């Protein structure tokens, strides 16, 4: 039986592996100026995705390139809302230029994590996206605040990370911790397999928790990404 697995990756972020990663994934999240990205980098990623038949999504973040969008930013709600709208519209404008449509939006970094657990941040994000339209999906953790706020308006696609470890409460292990990343291809494959077959993932304390995923993310800026993707591709051909 062939597994219907969607693997996504954050691209257009200045990493060097985009051209090698793109043929190995199904969806990509393209940085659109908040934490990284110019019209040139967005165009390059969109054209590469089109070449390989990969679905494209906007990857907005806190407007914080200094910290690459990975730090919580003190910002008022209207400024954040305006920034999200500008980032996504910028992405859409460029995608349209190449006859590509936006399949989804996935928040980046600290904004993704905050919107997952803070209902106020989730509401800001949803209100911003509603001003753009609703004919696209949102990638978000299952049972998150963003899922709750977005569910009435958008198609929600729950996401699980291939190369990140999880805490017992279902949150990602902070990157500041030594065991935050999964670099072993076998462990990464097991993360997908457990989730796809059983809606569960193994935590850092070696317990299983319920977690639903319909798309699986790997980080394009990590040195281990290609090895993991090659291994997963091989496993999927025999699944």
Neighbour-count burial for 201-239, b at 16+ CB within 10 Å, e otherwise: bbbeeeeeeebebbbbbbbbbbebbbebbeebeebeeee
pTM exceeds 0.85 for this model: yes
Per-residue pLDDT of 55-94, as tens digits, reads 999 999 999 999 999 999 999 999 999 999 999 999 999 9
92, 86 contact by CB (below 8 A)? no
CA separation (Å) from 44 to 39, 91, 108?
9, 12, 19
Residue 107, both tokens: 């928040």
Per-residue pLDDT of 32-45, as tens digits, reads 999 999 999 999 99
Q: Structural domain boundaries of the chain?
A: 7-238
Helices 77-97 and 39-52 pack at an angle, to 10 degrees, of 50
**pLDDT value for 38:** 98
Per-residue pLDDT of 167-219, as tens digits, reads 999 999 998 898 999 999 999 999 999 999 999 999 999 999 999 999 999 99
Angstrom distance (rounded) from CA 34 to CA 226: 26
Tell me the three state secondary structure of residue 108: coil
What is 7-238's CATH number?
A: 3.20.20.370
Residue 181, both tokens: 């990343």
The three-state DSSP-derived secondary structure of 66-84 is HHCCCCCCCCCHHHHHHHH
CA separation (Å) from 120 to 12, 71, 117, 124, 133?
29, 17, 9, 6, 20
Scanning the structure block, which residue is given the tokens 């399949």?
A: 103
Alpha helices in the chain, H assignment, sequence order: 18-21, 39-52, 77-97, 109-117, 119-130, 145-150, 185-198, 225-238
């Amino acid at each position: 039986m062939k597994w219907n697995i969607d693997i996504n990756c954050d691209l257009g972020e200045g990493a060097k592996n985009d051209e090698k990663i793109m043929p190995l994934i199904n969806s990509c999240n393209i940085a659109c100026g908040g934490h990284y990205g110019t019209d040139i980098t967005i165009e390059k990623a969109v054209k590469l995705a089109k070449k390989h038949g990969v679905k494209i999504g906007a990857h907005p973040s806190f407007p914080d390139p200094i910290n690459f969008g990975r730090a919580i930013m003190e910002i008022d709600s209207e400024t954040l809302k305006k920034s999200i709208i500008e980032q996504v519209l910028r992405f859409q404008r460029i995608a349209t230029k190449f006859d590509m449509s936006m399949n989804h939006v996935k928040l980046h970094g600290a904004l993704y994590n905050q919107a997952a657990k803070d209902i106020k941040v989730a509401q800001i994000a949803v209100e911003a996206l509603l001003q753009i339209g609703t004919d696209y999906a949102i990638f978000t953790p299952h049972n998150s605040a963003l899922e709750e706020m977005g569910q009435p308006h958008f198609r929600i696609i729950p996401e699980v990370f291939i190369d990140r470890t999880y805490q017992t409460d279902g949150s990602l292990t902070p990157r500041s911790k030594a065991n935050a990343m999964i670099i072993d291809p076998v462990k990464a494959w097991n993360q997908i397999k457990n989730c796809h077959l059983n809606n569960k993932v193994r935590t850092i304390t070696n317990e299983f928790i319920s977690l639903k995923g319909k798309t699986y993310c790997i980080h394009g800026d990590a040195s281990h990404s290609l090895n993991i993707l090659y291994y997963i591709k091989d496993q999927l051909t025999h699944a």
